[in-house]
């Protein structure tokens, strides 16, 4: 996953990577924007964890995810501080660290956060969100 792009238009969350891997509903939408997308290392970690927990063979999961044509973006101190206003979402809305990292990264890059989580568009944040599928929160 060493693809380089000037500035991603989309930042994918773990649900998007999982949908690609399993070809779940909406995976085609995610696949169509891969060349314009990036993923935060925290979301990559969450996707790896969920895929292997659900029985994915670790080396196959790694090979697949490393083969996606998009960069992995580091989480650093600057992003940690920039995301401080999202901390209350953990206890008020149940938004995980990985989800907040995706949202913060998208906001930082002025990109669109892509997810299957139908709660995100209602979070009242200065972050553009697009759902790659309609349905239940993942």
Report the CATH number that the domain containing residue 28 is assigned in CATH. Answer: 3.40.50.1010
Q: What is the pTM of this model?
A: 0.91
Q: How many CB atoms lie within 10 A of CB 14?
A: 28
Dist. CA 103–CA 134, nearest whole Å:
19
Residue 77, domain member (yes or no):
yes
pLDDT digits (tens, 9 = 90+) for 48-69: 999 999 999 999 999 999 999 9
Q: Could you tell me the residue range of the domain that residue 28 belongs to?
A: 10-131
Residue 137, domain member (yes or no):
no
Residue 18, domain member (yes or no):
yes
Count of domains observed in the chain: 1
Contact 104, 41 (CB under 8 A): no
**pLDDT for 103 beyond 80:** yes
């Amino acid at each position: 996953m060493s693809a380089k792009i000037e500035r991603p238009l989309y930042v994918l969350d773990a649900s998007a990577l999982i949908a690609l891997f399993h070809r779940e509903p909406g995976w085609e939408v995610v696949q169509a924007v891969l060349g314009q997308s990036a993923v935060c290392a925290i979301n990559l970690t969450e996707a790896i964890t969920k895929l292997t927990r659900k029985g994915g063979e670790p080396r196959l999961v790694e090979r697949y995810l490393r083969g996606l044509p998009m960069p992995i973006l580091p989480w650093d101190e600057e992003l940690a501080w920039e995301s401080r206003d999202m901390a209350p979402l953990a206890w008020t809305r149940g938004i995980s660290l990985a989800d907040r990292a995706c949202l913060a990264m998208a906001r930082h890059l002025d990109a669109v956060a892509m997810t299957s989580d139908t709660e995100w568009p209602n979070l009242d944040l200065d972050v553009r969100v697009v759902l790659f599928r309609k349905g239940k929160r993942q």
